[in-house]
Structure 1
Amino acid sequence: MKTTRLPSLFVSHGSPMMALEDSPTAHFLDQLGASLPRPRAVVMASAHFMASAPTVTATSSPRTIHDFGGFPKPLYEIQYPAHGAPALAGEVVRHLTAAGFEPVLDDHTGIDHGTWVPLRRMYPQADIPVVALSVNPAQTAAWHYQLGRALAPLRDEGVLVIGSGGYSHNLRELDWQHANSQMYPWVKAFTDALSAKLLSGDVQGALDWQSLPEARRNHPTTEHLYPLYVALGAGGAGAQATRLHHAVQMGGMALDAFAFDQAA
């Protein structure tokens, strides 16, 4: 039976409170899973899973990691009991090895909030197996793009490849007292410029993100940006970007989401 090719996705997971809150982005994620063909598994590159070598989880029953502090007790009580997919993890490793990477299989790490928060809203039944893939902030956007390119064939096999991060991520400059503050001009300058590159198919321009306005102010560290490039690469050569969602919280946390796929 022919499998429908899935797009790759980039989602902004926001605060861990996205798991509980009522917001436009939470509502978007609530409908996102149902809007796609049902995947056989998810490969998730999360901003909160970092390693020097590309690391792929082969845990059969990954635990739910509450990798944050200072939030309400109900958040720490959430479990996302999705199964892992060790066989798929092996496939991921083979694709990455063939592309010249030196990946590592990890049979003990669970799933961090960058993975389970969006998946809990997309697939609340936790009935789709999950494999996590690390990012490396010491590497480049181009390195993560090639990481994603190696995974593009999985989309023809019913695997949903997702990068989970933040379209902008400067926690020090957020308006923590006002969730609905208007977008700061310096956030708009960067995100508008990056969106223009993505939507026009200018991959090289998107990869050269540091040349965009206010780039380092939006991403003083890179771990929340690089999952975008995994998703972009997984869209395949000549992938077309579609913006699925646009929102901002606390003035400076852009929460855009994109799908990437080759033109039919």
Structure 2
Amino acid sequence: MNLQTLPGLFISHGSPMLALDPEQVGPALHRLSFNLPKPQAIIVMSAHWESQSLEISTSTRPRTWHDFRGFPKELYEIHYPAAGEPDLAEQILKLLADAHIPAHANSTRPRDHGVWMPLLHMYPDADIPVIEISLPMQMNADQIYNIGQVLAPLRQQQILLIGSGSITHNLAELSWNGDAQKIPEWASVFRNHVVSKLHHQDYEAVLNWPDLPFIERNHPSLEHFAPLFFAMGTGHRFSIVHSSFSMGSLGMDIYRFD
């Protein structure tokens, strides 16, 4: 089998309603899947699996977890039955152990919407094995970046590495009923600054996240930004797959790292 090298991705997965109302990002994810060789497997670090230490899902078929409340009934009827891949999970654990990064197997974790929602648009047949890895909040930005570096060689086995979060994520500032087309300056300045640093391969400036402009307003907590650090570690040639805002200030960007 002639395996091809896949990129690493950062995907802004937005509101759970993306599953029912794809807006601009759903079609962008669908097009992206057509522009890539079909993965042998997919590894996702999700903003919605915060953990003390790094954990790797070893389940053979994790259940679809609707980890949200107050949304339409149709959303809770969506399931993404992609299999797990325990052998690949063991390979991941070995790569991390060889790099002296402590990690633990987790065979019971369900699959949260940070994983299944973007994949629903990319690979709706759910016929590719998916492994979720946790976001270890006790690690700093450089350590999360290093996880991406350690797993980057898996790209050569036609395995797709994804950090699933959001380039901006302040739910208290979203335009639920107001002018959703108006993008606040604090959100656009932050997004443009991060993209500029990535374009110039100034990864250090992004990893030094406390110095980013309007960081606290865009990310009152860091869990949706931190998967970007993982994605950055998977490759060095940065490009933008998609850029848009939803509900005013919710950034829906998709980035590629080759």
Structure 2 residue aligned with 1:66: 66
Change in Cα spacing, 1:151 to 1:258, as seen in structure 2 (3 Å) is same
| Equivalent residue, structure 2, for 1:255 | 252
Q: Which residue pairs with 1:45 in the alignment?
A: 45
41-50 or 199-208, which deviates more: 199-208
Shift of 1:2: 3.1
Partner of 2:109: 109
Rounded Cα–Cα distance in structure 2 between residues aligned with 1:184 and 1:112: 29
Aligned residues: 258
Partners of 1:113 and 1:107 lie apart in 2 by 18
Measured at CA, do residues 20 and 180 of structure 1 come closer, stay the same or move farther in structure 2, by a change above 3 Å? same
The 8 Å contact of residues 241 and 258 in structure 1, kept in 2 or not, is answered as yes
Other-structure match for 1:189: 189
Alpha-carbon offset, residue 72 of structure 1: 0.1
CA deviation string 1:91-147 (max 9, x = no partner): 111111111111001111121000000001100000000000000234322111011
Q: Classify the secondary structure of the residue corresponding to 1:23.
A: coil
CA distance in 2, matches of 1:56, 1:166: 21
Q: Secondary structure at the match of 1:42?
A: strand
What stretches of structure 1 of length at least 5 have no aligned partner? Answer: none
The residue aligned with 1:161 is 161
Aligned equivalents of 2:21 and 2:175: distance in 1?
17
Query: Are the structure 2 counterparts of residues 52 and 186 from structure 1 closer, same or farther at C-alpha, using a change threshold of 3 Å?
Result: same
| Contact 1:182/1:248, CA 8 A, preserved across alignment | no
List 4+ stretches of structure 1 deviating above 2 A: 136-139, 178-181
Q: AA paired with 2:256?
A: A
TM-score (norm 2): 0.97
- Report the Cα distance in structure 2 between the residues aligned to 1:37 and 1:165, rounded to whole angstroms: 23
**How far apart, CA to CA, are the structure 2 residues paired with 1:188 and 1:143?**
27
2:45 and 2:90 mapped to 1: Cα distance? 16
TM-score with structure 1 setting the length: 0.95
Where 2:237 maps in the other structure, the secondary structure is strand
Where structure 2 has 5 or more consecutive residues not aligned to the other structure, the ranges are none
Shift of 1:179: 7.2
Give deviations 1:167-189, integer Å, cap 9, x for gaps.
00011111111473221100011
CA distance in 2, matches of 1:109, 1:128: 18
**2:227 is matched with which residue?**
227
RMSD across aligned positions (CA): 1.1
Relative to structure 2, which stretch is displaced further, 194-203 or 65-74? 194-203
Amino acid at match of 2:21: E
Task: Measure the CA separation in 2 of the matches of 1:180 and 1:241.
Answer: 29
Correspondence list, 1:101-180, <5 A: 101-178=101-178, 180=180
